[in-house]
Structure 1
Amino acid sequence: MPLVLKMASMLSNGDPHLKEDLVQEGYIGLYHAIRKYDENRGHFPAFARTCVRNAMISYLRKNKTKDYVSLDAAAEVSDDLDVDEKLKQKEFLKNLYDLLTPMEKDALRTLLISGNIADAANLLSWPYKKMENAITRVRKKARLLMKLDKEGE
Structure 2
Amino acid sequence: MQKLEILTDEELVKLHADGDVAASGVLLCRYKNAVKAICRQFFLVGGDEEDLMQEGMIALFGCISEYDPKFGAFGPYASRCVKNRVIDAVRKSGRNKNKPLADFVDVQSISDGELLSSSDTNPETLYLSSEGEKLILKSIDENLSDGEKSLFLLFLDGLSYSEIAAKTELSVKQVDNRLQKIKKKLKAATETKQ
Q: TM-score when scaled to structure 1?
A: 0.44
Which has more helix, going by share of residues?
Answer: 1
Q: TM-score when scaled to structure 2?
A: 0.35
